[in-house]
Amino acid sequence: MPRNRTITPEHFIVFVLITCLSLAGRTGYGQKMTIRDTVQVNELMKITGDSISANAQKCLELSERALQISKEIGYTLGVGRSLNSRGEALVRLGKYDLAIKDHLEAIRIGQKYHFKRTEAAGYLNLMIPLEELGRNEEAFKSCQKATKLFEDLNDTVGIGWGYIDLANVMFDMGFNEDAITFTLKGAGLFRAIHKLDVTAFAYSSVAAVYQDSHKYKEALVYLRHTISLSDSVHNAGPLPLAFLNLGVCYEELGLRDSASYFYRKAYDGFEINGDMSNKLKAIFNIGSLYYSQGKVDSAKKYHQMAYDLSAKIQHRDMEASSLRMLAKIANVNGDYKKAFEFRDKAADLKDSLLNAGKVKELAALTKKFEIKEAEQKNLSLETQNSLQKIKLQRKDILLYGSAVLLILLSGTGFLLFRHRKLRANQKLMELEQKQLLAQINPHFIFNCLNSIQQFVVQNDTMNANRYLADFAMLMRQTLDNSKDGIISLKREIEYLENYLSFEHMRFEDKFTYTLTCQPEIDIDNIEIPSMIIQPFVENAIRHGICNLEARNGILSIRFHKKDGFLFCEIDDNGIGLEESRKIKAQAFIKYQSHGMELTTRRLALVSKMQSADYNVTISDRPGIDGRSEGTHVVIKFPLLT
């Protein structure tokens, strides 16, 4: 969700001569503070606040100068404000860890010297780099603290920004309706006090939420409000981000010329104000738009620029996305070696991101364990003190206490024994599931290698190379999905799309396929067991469609929700179940059915482990003359919460 705002609330710019004089002896930063020096710092902070939206690098230089002067003259309030200012400039330049350090130091100064506004601004600004690093829970708590401080100060502007930043975190956590509600509350406060420039920023944020919900026409309404308000107050700050989002909306609505125009205006704006993170998005979107139009050379140029910039500012997710696009472009150009290298780099980068995430998770778990261990030690000490008191009481009370303790120990022992038994049974089922999954992988790999062998036998070198490159990427996905066991629906759909593209090339024009998903399904947050759907799709292609003689095959895959379940329906117009069994029986084919058999066993096992209803139904599609016109498969997944 976009956020482009000045660091310091307007109240910080008020002339503070009396406060400056009272602070002269309260810090060790410098020796002597004069009125002239503090005025100079305040003027620097005013210029810094005005320049943040236009030029992040200039803001960084001015805030560092203000920080240096504040330390030299012992102006503690100026130190805190300068740190907050420098922190937001660092965020604009993509240096999130350094920004966090500055805001934490500003918060510490605010708490020590009771500068509530400095403390509140620190918490509000700290939320942004935390959110950029994916630490949403910490960002939400930081924003709550800021909003509470601004409410205590009756600061309308601060409260408004608190609402908008709370909305930012809610947006990133998937609560889009709440995000819109809080953003509009913030915009209402700004409008009430005639702060039209920040109202424009708020409307831009509302547009981003609608855009994420694929409501592009609603997003366009608020983006036009943003541009209109910015023009009316002659503030160009919100415009580049508004242009970027306008480009996205127009592209999604199929208006590519308009999308290209606004992407370029956004790029020019970010180039001027030094916002590297959003400049990167504009470059990537321009390259992707060129690729969708078949302008491969232009697409290559912009995705190379995106890769270079993402590496420079260490935006790893965008770096991996740029590599994947460069791989696609190289593949189109017939440079399969380069395509493989780009995909390999992207996969390595993804692995490093996963490993970094695991390290953070491990550190968090270690910290939780240490806290839990300390709590247990405290609990143990309290228990010992209680027992000591009991020993000093009468023998009857001691006997009763011992009897109660014995009962508790017996009950605890029974519960522990039962828990361990349940855990042992669960581990056995998990091992069995892994065994089944391990059997599915060789089955799938055998079929793929068999297809590559056919190209080699036919001396079709070009298709063999293309097939091998796609096979390498598909194997990477297969191994990743098998390793995780449970994956998001988005990953499963991406995997199926790659697999279908792979098989479509293998069988040339033997069949066509469609893969659709109900719009309201949250594919990012719904999780299903991996490697469940692919064996049924493979069976439909190899045993149903590929045995057709008089017509081309049609394969349809649909995802939809109903009554708390996710359904995947697979339809083909192949020869049907009965004819397929006859052909396999005549040819003595046995291995093809293993994938479906193992998958069905896995689903039964997962149902037992999770006490949930996973199941598969397979049936013939009856034709007009009573003969089968294909096969219908329905896979049912419970939507776990």
Task: Report, as an integer, the average pLDDT of 420-443.
Answer: 55
The residues with which 556 forms a beta bridge, in sequence order, are 514, 571
pLDDT of residue 49: 56
More confident residue, 173 or 390: 173
pLDDT in tens, 311-339: 888 888 888 888 888 988 988 898 888 88
Shortest CA distance to 155 belongs to which of 200, 123, 108, 133? 123
Q: pLDDT category, 145, cuts 50, 70, 90?
A: very high
pLDDT of residue 148: 92
Q: pLDDT category, 559, cuts 50, 70, 90?
A: very high
Give the DSSP per-residue string, 562-621. Answer: ETTEEEEEEEE-SS-HHHHHHHHHHHT--GGGHHHHHHHHHHHHHHHHHT---EEEEEEE
460-638 has which fold? Heat Shock Protein 90 (3.30.565)
Helix (H, G, I), strand (E, B) or coil at 628: strand
Least confident of 236-245, 279-288, 549-558, 614-623: 236-245
More confident residue, 454 or 129: 129
Q: Are 620 and 626 in contact (CB under 8 A)?
A: no
Mean pLDDT, the chain, integer: 79
pLDDT of residue 22: 37
pLDDT of residue 376: 61
Shortest CA distance to 164 belongs to which of 116, 131, 118? 131
Is the pLDDT at 396 greater than 60? The verdict is yes
Nearest-5° Cα angle at 622, 619 to 624: 175
Residue ranges of alpha helices (H) inside 136-195 are: 136-152, 156-172, 176-192
pLDDT of residue 44: 65
pLDDT of residue 338: 86
Task: Report, as an integer, the average pLDDT of 284-288.
Answer: 91
pLDDT in tens, 375-386: 566 666 666 666
Q: Are 228 and 203 in contact (CB under 8 A)?
A: no
pLDDT in tens, 197-238: 788 888 888 888 888 888 888 888 888 888 888 887 777 777
Domain 1-173: top CATH class: mainly alpha
Phi, psi dihedrals of residue 120, rounded to the nearest 5° = -65, -45
Task: Report, as an integer, the average pLDDT of 62-66.
Answer: 85
Q: Are 555 and 633 in contact (CB under 8 A)?
A: no
As a whole-number percent, the residues of the chain with pLDDT over 90 amount to: 19
Is the pLDDT at 627 greater than 90? The verdict is no
Could you give the CA distance from residue 587 to residue 594 in angstroms, rounded to a whole number? Answer: 16
The reported pTM is 0.40
Q: pLDDT category, 46, cuts 50, 70, 90?
A: low
Task: Report, as an integer, the average pLDDT of 97-112.
Answer: 93
The torsion angle over the Cα atoms of residues 224, 226, 229 and 233, rounded to 10 degrees, is -130
pLDDT of residue 188: 87
Q: What secondary structure, in 3-state letters, does 16-55 show?
A: CHHHHHHCCCCCCCCCCCCHHHHHHHHHHHHHHHHHCCCC
pLDDT of residue 320: 87
Task: Report, as an integer, the average pLDDT of 520-533.
Answer: 89
Is the pLDDT at 344 greater than 80? The verdict is yes
As a whole-number percent, the residues of the chain with pLDDT over 70 amount to: 78
More confident residue, 484 or 214: 214
pLDDT of residue 42: 64
Burial class for 186, CB neighbours closer than 10 Å (0-12, 13-18, 19+): buried
pLDDT of residue 177: 86
Q: Are 614 and 433 in contact (CB under 8 A)?
A: no
Q: Where are the domains of the chain?
A: 1-173, 460-638
Could you give the CA distance from residue 232 to residue 370 in angstroms, rounded to a whole number? Answer: 56
Question: CA separation (Å) from 154 to 116, 159, 160?
Answer: 12, 8, 11
Could you give the CA distance from residue 198 to residue 163 in angstroms, rounded to a whole number? Answer: 13
pLDDT of residue 53: 54
Task: Report, as an integer, the average pLDDT of 262-270.
Answer: 89
